[in-house]
Structure 1
Amino acid sequence: MEEPTGEVPGQPETAPHDEVDRIVAAWRQERPDLDLEPLTVFSRISRLARHLDLARRRAFARRELETWEFDVLSALRRAGEPYQLSPGALVQQTLVTSGTMTNRIDRLANRGFVERHRSPDDRRGVQVELTPEGLKRVDAAMADLLAVEAAILTTLSKEDRPHLAALLRTLATQFEE
Protein backbone atom coordinates (compact mmCIF):
# COMPACT_ATOMS: atom_id res chain seq x y z
CA MET A 1 0.00 0.00 0.00
CA GLU A 2 1.27 3.45 -0.93
CA GLU A 3 1.93 5.94 1.90
CA PRO A 4 -0.30 9.09 1.75
CA THR A 5 1.76 12.09 0.68
CA GLY A 6 -0.30 14.78 2.35
CA GLU A 7 -0.49 16.63 -0.94
CA VAL A 8 -3.87 18.11 -1.65
CA PRO A 9 -5.12 18.35 -5.23
CA GLY A 10 -5.61 21.96 -6.25
CA GLN A 11 -3.11 23.28 -3.72
CA PRO A 12 0.43 24.19 -4.68
CA GLU A 13 3.09 21.99 -3.11
CA THR A 14 4.31 24.98 -1.09
CA ALA A 15 0.87 25.49 0.53
CA PRO A 16 0.92 24.74 4.26
CA HIS A 17 -0.42 21.32 5.20
CA ASP A 18 -2.28 20.54 8.36
CA GLU A 19 -3.56 17.40 10.05
CA VAL A 20 -6.80 17.57 8.05
CA ASP A 21 -4.79 17.45 4.81
CA ARG A 22 -3.11 14.27 6.07
CA ILE A 23 -6.44 12.73 7.10
CA VAL A 24 -8.04 13.59 3.75
CA ALA A 25 -5.06 12.20 1.84
CA ALA A 26 -5.32 8.93 3.75
CA TRP A 27 -9.07 8.70 3.06
CA ARG A 28 -8.50 9.56 -0.57
CA GLN A 29 -6.03 6.67 -0.72
CA GLU A 30 -8.43 4.24 0.94
CA ARG A 31 -11.72 5.49 -0.50
CA PRO A 32 -11.16 7.34 -3.80
CA ASP A 33 -14.88 6.87 -4.53
CA LEU A 34 -15.90 9.35 -1.81
CA ASP A 35 -16.27 13.12 -2.16
CA LEU A 36 -14.16 14.31 0.75
CA GLU A 37 -14.78 18.04 0.31
CA PRO A 38 -17.09 18.29 3.37
CA LEU A 39 -14.34 16.76 5.48
CA THR A 40 -11.88 19.45 4.34
CA VAL A 41 -14.22 22.14 5.69
CA PHE A 42 -15.93 20.69 8.74
CA SER A 43 -12.93 18.89 10.21
CA ARG A 44 -11.13 22.23 10.24
CA ILE A 45 -14.12 23.99 11.79
CA SER A 46 -14.33 21.26 14.44
CA ARG A 47 -10.62 21.45 15.25
CA LEU A 48 -10.69 25.24 15.30
CA ALA A 49 -13.71 25.16 17.63
CA ARG A 50 -11.77 22.98 20.09
CA HIS A 51 -8.78 25.33 20.02
CA LEU A 52 -11.04 28.37 20.36
CA ASP A 53 -12.91 26.80 23.28
CA LEU A 54 -9.62 26.22 25.11
CA ALA A 55 -8.43 29.77 24.37
CA ARG A 56 -11.72 31.21 25.61
CA ARG A 57 -11.61 29.13 28.79
CA ARG A 58 -8.10 30.46 29.51
CA ALA A 59 -9.23 34.05 28.87
CA PHE A 60 -12.22 33.68 31.23
CA ALA A 61 -10.11 31.90 33.85
CA ARG A 62 -7.91 35.00 34.08
CA ARG A 63 -11.04 36.74 35.43
CA GLU A 64 -12.02 33.73 37.55
CA LEU A 65 -15.04 32.96 35.35
CA GLU A 66 -16.34 29.79 33.79
CA THR A 67 -17.62 29.89 30.22
CA TRP A 68 -21.24 29.56 31.34
CA GLU A 69 -20.79 32.42 33.80
CA PHE A 70 -19.49 34.64 31.03
CA ASP A 71 -22.45 33.64 28.82
CA VAL A 72 -25.01 34.75 31.42
CA LEU A 73 -23.14 37.89 32.48
CA SER A 74 -22.55 38.95 28.88
CA ALA A 75 -26.25 38.48 28.02
CA LEU A 76 -27.09 40.87 30.85
CA ARG A 77 -24.35 43.31 29.77
CA ARG A 78 -25.58 43.34 26.17
CA ALA A 79 -29.09 44.19 27.40
CA GLY A 80 -27.85 47.69 28.24
CA GLU A 81 -28.63 49.69 31.35
CA PRO A 82 -29.99 48.75 33.80
CA TYR A 83 -28.46 45.39 32.73
CA GLN A 84 -31.56 43.36 33.56
CA LEU A 85 -33.29 40.43 31.90
CA SER A 86 -35.93 37.94 32.94
CA PRO A 87 -34.79 34.37 33.54
CA GLY A 88 -36.82 33.41 30.44
CA ALA A 89 -34.88 35.87 28.29
CA LEU A 90 -31.62 34.48 29.68
CA VAL A 91 -32.76 30.95 28.83
CA GLN A 92 -33.53 32.05 25.28
CA GLN A 93 -30.17 33.79 24.83
CA THR A 94 -28.00 31.07 26.36
CA LEU A 95 -29.86 28.01 25.02
CA VAL A 96 -30.15 26.15 28.33
CA THR A 97 -33.17 24.80 30.21
CA SER A 98 -35.03 26.88 32.78
CA GLY A 99 -33.82 24.55 35.57
CA THR A 100 -30.23 25.01 34.46
CA MET A 101 -30.70 28.79 34.34
CA THR A 102 -32.17 28.86 37.86
CA ASN A 103 -29.09 27.02 39.11
CA ARG A 104 -26.79 29.38 37.22
CA ILE A 105 -28.51 32.49 38.54
CA ASP A 106 -28.26 31.10 42.10
CA ARG A 107 -24.54 30.46 41.69
CA LEU A 108 -23.89 33.90 40.15
CA ALA A 109 -25.89 35.56 42.93
CA ASN A 110 -23.82 33.69 45.52
CA ARG A 111 -20.68 35.12 43.89
CA GLY A 112 -22.13 38.63 43.99
CA PHE A 113 -22.32 39.03 40.19
CA VAL A 114 -26.12 39.26 39.88
CA GLU A 115 -29.16 40.10 42.00
CA ARG A 116 -32.79 39.10 41.64
CA HIS A 117 -35.49 41.76 41.80
CA ARG A 118 -39.25 41.56 41.55
CA SER A 119 -40.47 42.64 38.14
CA PRO A 120 -42.24 46.01 38.32
CA ASP A 121 -44.63 44.86 35.58
CA ASP A 122 -45.54 41.45 37.04
CA ARG A 123 -45.50 40.84 40.78
CA ARG A 124 -44.87 37.12 40.16
CA GLY A 125 -42.00 37.82 37.75
CA VAL A 126 -38.32 38.26 38.48
CA GLN A 127 -35.62 40.32 36.83
CA VAL A 128 -31.97 39.35 37.05
CA GLU A 129 -29.66 42.35 37.28
CA LEU A 130 -25.92 42.61 36.87
CA THR A 131 -24.20 43.97 40.00
CA PRO A 132 -21.33 46.48 39.78
CA GLU A 133 -18.91 43.59 40.46
CA GLY A 134 -20.56 41.49 37.74
CA LEU A 135 -20.30 44.41 35.33
CA LYS A 136 -16.62 44.92 36.13
CA ARG A 137 -15.89 41.21 35.74
CA VAL A 138 -17.72 40.72 32.44
CA ASP A 139 -16.21 43.87 30.91
CA ALA A 140 -12.69 42.72 31.82
CA ALA A 141 -13.38 39.19 30.53
CA MET A 142 -14.75 40.59 27.26
CA ALA A 143 -11.60 42.65 26.73
CA ASP A 144 -9.45 39.55 27.41
CA LEU A 145 -11.58 37.44 25.06
CA LEU A 146 -11.27 39.94 22.22
CA ALA A 147 -7.50 40.12 22.67
CA VAL A 148 -7.23 36.31 22.47
CA GLU A 149 -9.52 36.10 19.44
CA ALA A 150 -7.75 38.98 17.67
CA ALA A 151 -4.45 37.16 18.14
CA ILE A 152 -5.94 34.04 16.54
CA LEU A 153 -7.11 36.09 13.57
CA THR A 154 -3.66 37.54 12.87
CA THR A 155 -2.99 34.72 10.42
CA LEU A 156 -5.73 36.15 8.17
CA SER A 157 -5.49 39.44 6.34
CA LYS A 158 -7.86 42.25 7.33
CA GLU A 159 -9.51 41.79 3.92
CA ASP A 160 -10.09 38.04 4.41
CA ARG A 161 -11.75 38.35 7.83
CA PRO A 162 -15.09 39.83 6.67
CA HIS A 163 -15.21 37.30 3.85
CA LEU A 164 -14.70 34.40 6.27
CA ALA A 165 -17.32 35.84 8.64
CA ALA A 166 -19.81 36.08 5.77
CA LEU A 167 -19.18 32.49 4.68
CA LEU A 168 -19.58 31.20 8.23
CA ARG A 169 -22.78 33.25 8.63
CA THR A 170 -24.16 31.62 5.49
CA LEU A 171 -23.44 28.16 6.90
CA ALA A 172 -24.80 28.99 10.37
CA THR A 173 -28.10 30.56 9.28
CA GLN A 174 -29.51 27.17 8.31
CA PHE A 175 -29.52 26.29 12.02
CA GLU A 176 -31.00 29.57 13.26
CA GLU A 177 -34.67 29.72 14.08
Structure 2
Amino acid sequence: MSKAPHPDQRPVEEVMAARAFYAELGLDVTYFSALWHTFNIGHMLSTDLDRICRRHDLSIADFNLMGALRIDRPLPLRATDLAVTLQVSNGALSARIAKLADKGMLVKSPAAGDRRAFTLELTPDGARKVEAIHAAIEGESHFVHEVNRLPEDDRVALERIMGELHSRLDRYFVHAHR
Protein backbone atom coordinates (compact mmCIF):
# COMPACT_ATOMS: atom_id res chain seq x y z
CA MET A 1 0.00 0.00 0.00
CA SER A 2 1.45 3.38 -0.98
CA LYS A 3 1.76 6.22 1.45
CA ALA A 4 -0.69 9.10 0.90
CA PRO A 5 1.01 12.17 -0.59
CA HIS A 6 1.60 15.23 1.55
CA PRO A 7 -1.37 17.61 0.96
CA ASP A 8 0.95 20.21 -0.60
CA GLN A 9 2.15 17.64 -3.15
CA ARG A 10 -1.19 15.98 -3.97
CA PRO A 11 -1.89 17.99 -7.16
CA VAL A 12 1.64 17.39 -8.46
CA GLU A 13 1.47 13.67 -7.73
CA GLU A 14 -2.01 13.37 -9.30
CA VAL A 15 -0.77 14.99 -12.50
CA MET A 16 2.30 12.76 -12.55
CA ALA A 17 0.07 9.66 -12.20
CA ALA A 18 -2.25 10.89 -14.98
CA ARG A 19 0.71 11.71 -17.18
CA ALA A 20 2.18 8.22 -16.68
CA PHE A 21 -1.21 6.61 -17.41
CA TYR A 22 -1.72 8.50 -20.68
CA ALA A 23 1.90 7.95 -21.72
CA GLU A 24 1.28 4.18 -21.34
CA LEU A 25 -1.54 4.58 -23.86
CA GLY A 26 1.00 5.98 -26.31
CA LEU A 27 -0.18 9.61 -26.12
CA ASP A 28 2.09 12.65 -26.19
CA VAL A 29 2.08 13.98 -22.63
CA THR A 30 4.84 16.58 -22.90
CA TYR A 31 2.32 19.41 -22.47
CA PHE A 32 0.08 17.60 -19.99
CA SER A 33 1.44 18.96 -16.69
CA ALA A 34 1.48 22.59 -17.83
CA LEU A 35 -2.01 22.29 -19.33
CA TRP A 36 -3.56 20.58 -16.33
CA HIS A 37 -1.96 22.84 -13.72
CA THR A 38 -2.87 25.98 -15.70
CA PHE A 39 -6.45 24.81 -16.13
CA ASN A 40 -6.88 24.04 -12.45
CA ILE A 41 -5.13 27.20 -11.26
CA GLY A 42 -7.31 29.22 -13.65
CA HIS A 43 -10.43 27.64 -12.16
CA MET A 44 -9.23 28.27 -8.59
CA LEU A 45 -8.21 31.83 -9.46
CA SER A 46 -11.59 32.55 -11.01
CA THR A 47 -13.35 31.15 -7.92
CA ASP A 48 -11.05 33.14 -5.61
CA LEU A 49 -11.59 36.44 -7.44
CA ASP A 50 -15.31 35.89 -7.92
CA ARG A 51 -15.66 35.33 -4.14
CA ILE A 52 -14.10 38.74 -3.53
CA CYS A 53 -16.07 40.52 -6.26
CA ARG A 54 -19.41 39.06 -5.10
CA ARG A 55 -18.97 40.82 -1.74
CA HIS A 56 -18.95 44.06 -3.79
CA ASP A 57 -22.09 43.04 -5.71
CA LEU A 58 -20.18 42.35 -8.93
CA SER A 59 -18.85 39.31 -10.76
CA ILE A 60 -15.23 38.90 -11.80
CA ALA A 61 -16.40 39.52 -15.39
CA ASP A 62 -17.96 42.85 -14.29
CA PHE A 63 -14.75 43.78 -12.50
CA ASN A 64 -12.65 42.82 -15.52
CA LEU A 65 -14.77 45.04 -17.78
CA MET A 66 -14.68 47.94 -15.32
CA GLY A 67 -10.94 47.49 -14.76
CA ALA A 68 -10.35 47.79 -18.51
CA LEU A 69 -12.36 51.02 -18.53
CA ARG A 70 -10.49 52.36 -15.48
CA ILE A 71 -7.16 52.49 -17.32
CA ASP A 72 -6.30 55.96 -18.60
CA ARG A 73 -6.19 55.89 -22.40
CA PRO A 74 -5.62 58.57 -25.03
CA LEU A 75 -9.08 57.90 -26.53
CA PRO A 76 -12.24 56.55 -24.90
CA LEU A 77 -12.98 52.89 -25.53
CA ARG A 78 -15.76 51.98 -27.89
CA ALA A 79 -17.80 48.96 -26.92
CA THR A 80 -16.49 47.02 -29.94
CA ASP A 81 -12.88 47.71 -28.87
CA LEU A 82 -13.71 46.56 -25.36
CA ALA A 83 -15.22 43.32 -26.71
CA VAL A 84 -11.93 42.56 -28.45
CA THR A 85 -9.90 43.47 -25.36
CA LEU A 86 -12.03 41.23 -23.13
CA GLN A 87 -12.36 38.47 -25.75
CA VAL A 88 -16.16 38.37 -25.54
CA SER A 89 -18.90 38.71 -28.11
CA ASN A 90 -20.62 42.05 -28.65
CA GLY A 91 -23.89 40.45 -27.48
CA ALA A 92 -22.43 39.26 -24.18
CA LEU A 93 -20.80 42.63 -23.66
CA SER A 94 -24.02 44.54 -24.40
CA ALA A 95 -25.91 42.73 -21.64
CA ARG A 96 -23.11 43.34 -19.13
CA ILE A 97 -22.86 47.03 -20.11
CA ALA A 98 -26.61 47.49 -19.66
CA LYS A 99 -26.46 45.88 -16.21
CA LEU A 100 -23.52 48.02 -15.09
CA ALA A 101 -25.12 51.18 -16.49
CA ASP A 102 -28.31 50.38 -14.55
CA LYS A 103 -26.20 50.05 -11.38
CA GLY A 104 -24.65 53.48 -12.05
CA MET A 105 -21.16 52.05 -12.61
CA LEU A 106 -20.63 53.30 -16.17
CA VAL A 107 -22.12 55.59 -18.79
CA LYS A 108 -22.53 55.14 -22.54
CA SER A 109 -22.00 58.11 -24.84
CA PRO A 110 -22.38 58.36 -28.62
CA ALA A 111 -19.02 57.92 -30.35
CA ALA A 112 -17.76 60.94 -32.25
CA GLY A 113 -18.01 60.42 -36.00
CA ASP A 114 -19.90 57.10 -35.84
CA ARG A 115 -23.58 57.26 -35.01
CA ARG A 116 -23.80 53.45 -34.65
CA ALA A 117 -21.07 53.21 -32.01
CA PHE A 118 -20.78 54.46 -28.46
CA THR A 119 -17.98 54.93 -25.96
CA LEU A 120 -17.91 53.79 -22.36
CA GLU A 121 -16.68 55.53 -19.25
CA LEU A 122 -16.77 54.62 -15.59
CA THR A 123 -18.73 56.83 -13.25
CA PRO A 124 -16.96 58.06 -10.09
CA ASP A 125 -18.85 55.30 -8.19
CA GLY A 126 -17.60 52.74 -10.72
CA ALA A 127 -14.00 53.94 -10.36
CA ARG A 128 -14.25 53.73 -6.55
CA LYS A 129 -15.68 50.21 -6.83
CA VAL A 130 -12.75 49.09 -9.03
CA GLU A 131 -10.24 50.51 -6.56
CA ALA A 132 -12.01 48.88 -3.59
CA ILE A 133 -11.98 45.49 -5.31
CA HIS A 134 -8.30 45.89 -6.25
CA ALA A 135 -7.51 46.54 -2.58
CA ALA A 136 -9.59 43.52 -1.52
CA ILE A 137 -7.83 41.29 -4.05
CA GLU A 138 -4.44 42.48 -2.82
CA GLY A 139 -5.33 41.73 0.77
CA GLU A 140 -7.59 38.68 0.49
CA SER A 141 -6.81 36.70 -2.65
CA HIS A 142 -5.34 33.26 -1.99
CA PHE A 143 -3.68 33.42 -5.40
CA VAL A 144 -1.99 36.76 -4.65
CA HIS A 145 -0.87 35.46 -1.26
CA GLU A 146 0.71 32.33 -2.77
CA VAL A 147 2.33 34.16 -5.71
CA ASN A 148 3.85 36.64 -3.25
CA ARG A 149 5.37 33.72 -1.33
CA LEU A 150 7.32 32.61 -4.41
CA PRO A 151 10.95 33.70 -4.68
CA GLU A 152 11.34 36.85 -6.80
CA ASP A 153 13.12 34.97 -9.59
CA ASP A 154 10.18 32.55 -9.83
CA ARG A 155 7.65 35.43 -9.89
CA VAL A 156 9.60 37.08 -12.71
CA ALA A 157 9.84 33.77 -14.61
CA LEU A 158 6.12 33.07 -14.09
CA GLU A 159 5.19 36.53 -15.39
CA ARG A 160 7.46 36.11 -18.41
CA ILE A 161 6.20 32.61 -19.27
CA MET A 162 2.52 33.41 -18.77
CA GLY A 163 2.92 36.66 -20.73
CA GLU A 164 4.54 34.79 -23.60
CA LEU A 165 1.79 32.16 -23.65
CA HIS A 166 -0.89 34.84 -23.40
CA SER A 167 0.61 36.73 -26.36
CA ARG A 168 0.88 33.59 -28.45
CA LEU A 169 -2.64 32.38 -27.66
CA ASP A 170 -4.17 35.84 -28.02
CA ARG A 171 -3.99 35.68 -31.81
CA TYR A 172 -6.34 32.69 -31.88
CA PHE A 173 -9.04 34.39 -29.86
CA VAL A 174 -8.91 38.19 -30.06
CA HIS A 175 -9.00 38.36 -33.83
CA ALA A 176 -11.93 35.95 -34.00
CA HIS A 177 -14.18 38.79 -32.76
CA ARG A 178 -13.12 41.30 -35.39
TM beyond 0.5: yes
Residue 114 of structure 2 aligns to a residue whose secondary structure is coil
Q: Which has the higher contact order (CA 8 A, sep 6+)?
A: 2
Residue 115 of structure 1 aligns to a residue whose secondary structure is strand
Whether the 8 Å CA contact 1:117–1:127 is kept in 2: the answer is yes
Paired letter, 1:135: A
Q: Which residue of 2 aligns with 1:116?
A: 108
Q: 2:150 aligns with which of 147, 156, 160?
A: 156
Q: Which residue of 1 aligns with 2:86?
A: 94
Cα distance in structure 2, aligned partners of 1:87 and 1:132: 19
Whether the 8 Å CA contact 1:69–1:104 is kept in 2: the answer is yes
Structure 2 runs not aligned, ≥5 long: 172-178
**Higher mean C-alpha deviation, range 53-62 or range 23-32:** 23-32
Whether the 8 Å CA contact 2:79–2:117 is kept in 1: the answer is no
In structure 2, relative to structure 1, the CA distance for the partners of 1:22 and 1:122 (3 Å cut) is closer
Higher Rg of the two aligned structures: 1
Q: Which residue of 2 aligns with 1:169?
A: 163
**Higher mean C-alpha deviation, range 40-49 or range 108-117:** 40-49
Whether the 8 Å CA contact 2:106–2:123 is kept in 1: the answer is yes
Cα distance in structure 1, aligned partners of 2:22 and 2:103: 54
Q: 2:123 aligns with which of 103, 108, 131?
A: 131
Paired letter, 1:89: D
- Please report the TM-score for the alignment, with normalisation by the length of structure 1: 0.78
Q: RMSD of aligned C-alpha atoms?
A: 2.8
Whether the 8 Å CA contact 2:23–2:29 is kept in 1: the answer is no
Alignment of 1:46 onto 2:54: no
Residues 98-151 of structure 1: CA distance to partner in whole angstroms, max 9, x if unpaired?
Answer: 122221111111000011122233344322221111111111112222332431
- Please report the TM-score for the alignment, with normalisation by the length of structure 2: 0.78
Structure-to-structure mapping, 1:18-33, within 5 angstroms: 18-25=10-17, 28=20, 31-32=23-24
Size of the alignment, in residue pairs? 167
Alignment of 1:107 onto 2:120: no
Identity of aligned residues (%): 23
**Higher mean C-alpha deviation, range 132-141 or range 162-171:** 162-171
Cα distance in structure 2, aligned partners of 1:108 and 1:146: 23
Residue 31 of structure 2 aligns to a residue whose secondary structure is helix
